[in-house]
Structure 1
Amino acid sequence: MYSGRTGESIDTVYWIEGKYIKEALNEINHFMRDWRQNEAKPIDTRTIDIIAASHNLLDVDEPYMLLSGYRSPKTNAMLRARSRGVAKNSLHMKAQAADLRLRSRSVNQIARAAASCKAGGVGRYSSSNFVHMDCGDVRTWGR
């Protein structure tokens, strides 16, 4: 389902017959860790569900490229100092957000798929070629 900036990749079944698989969630938590600080937190399963549902809607075999999952407050502050697009109280710090891209789909295609889930926030970052997905309030932004 994901490949990451660190060269890692993960393709795991995390949910079967209405139950989450603890070992698979542990893998996802490690994969989506703050790689700058090597710090992990349990990723909110609602975010994982939105990511998986969006991927299914896009009908692709290509894994998402994960740019950012969980972010420690230290990493968030560093990124915020570099870019005005980083929220002070980012849901990344609560392990409830991910920034993703696909080579085979546009930002608009990915964002439309995520927004159609009506399950959280979807941000379009076209100039940086990624989509933000989170399990917060349903909202959209960007172009």
Structure 2
Amino acid sequence: MTSTSSNGLSRRALLGAFAATAVSAAPTFANAAGFLRGGGDIRRIVMHSGRTGERIDTIYWIEGEYIPEAIAEINHFMRDWRNNKMVQIDTRTLDIMAAAHGLLDVNEPYMLLSGYRSPETNAMLRSRSRGVAKNSLHLKGQAADLRLKSRSVGQMFKAATACKAGGVGKYSGSNFVHMDCGAVRTWGS
């Protein structure tokens, strides 16, 4: 749903122009809890996928409103790459990811290892690994497995845990952190 003003600019273009200026003026947040309560003017996700070669860099929330077009792009990006199925990604998970990324103070995009998983993909992964949950939040679009080259799993784990907003799993052996918007809990080594 894109509305066009009388001068031919779409709502998305206006928001994009506003966001470009807001990014340079955005404050640094002392903690993720303030960020998750709306302590900032914008929320941004920057990721790449080694599986598909795709990259996304989008501002998905401005001044208390999620941007539907940006959320749709994120839904597509975080799809099950094995069969191209997708669902609505829970914005609470996006907020946790964005807040943790901000706390890490990096410009590097997240590498997305797993976002949404279809039931078929989850069953296949469960047959290969006992570490895959039968009722994984990946099945609901409520989880992401992420990696950064410039930060350790421990650093990412601490940043996501500081959000106090969902589940955080540390997978040091596989070099990634799981973030979800389920119950607040931690696991892994």
**Range class of TM-score, shorter chain:** over 0.9
| Percent identity between the two aligned chains | 76
The alignment status of 1:90 with 2:136, answered yes or no, reads: yes
For 1:106 and 1:62, the matched residues in 2 are separated by 13
Q: How many residues align?
A: 143
Whether 1:17 aligns to 2:63 is yes
Q: In the alignment, what sits opposite 1:55?
A: 101
Report which of the two structures shows the higher radius of gyration computed on alpha carbons: 2
Counterpart for residue 123 of structure 2 = 77
Deviation at 1:37, TM superposition (A): 1.1
Structure 2 stretches lacking a partner, 5+ long? 1-45
Q: Distance in 2 between matches of 1:60 and 1:82?
A: 34
TM-score of the superposed pair, with normalisation by structure 1: 0.99
Return the structure number with greater relative CO, CA threshold 8 A, min gap 6.
1
Matched, 1:3 2:48: yes
Tell me the CA shift for residue 23 of structure 1: 0.2
| Paired amino acid for 1:88 | K
List aligned pairs for 1:100-139, cutoff 5 A.
100-139=146-185
Please report the TM-score for the alignment, with normalisation by the length of structure 2.
0.75
Provide structure 1 residue ranges, at least 5 long, that are not aligned to the other structure. Answer: none
- 1:26 and 2:72 aligned: yes
Shift of 1:6: 1.0
CA distance in 2, matches of 1:66, 1:93: 16
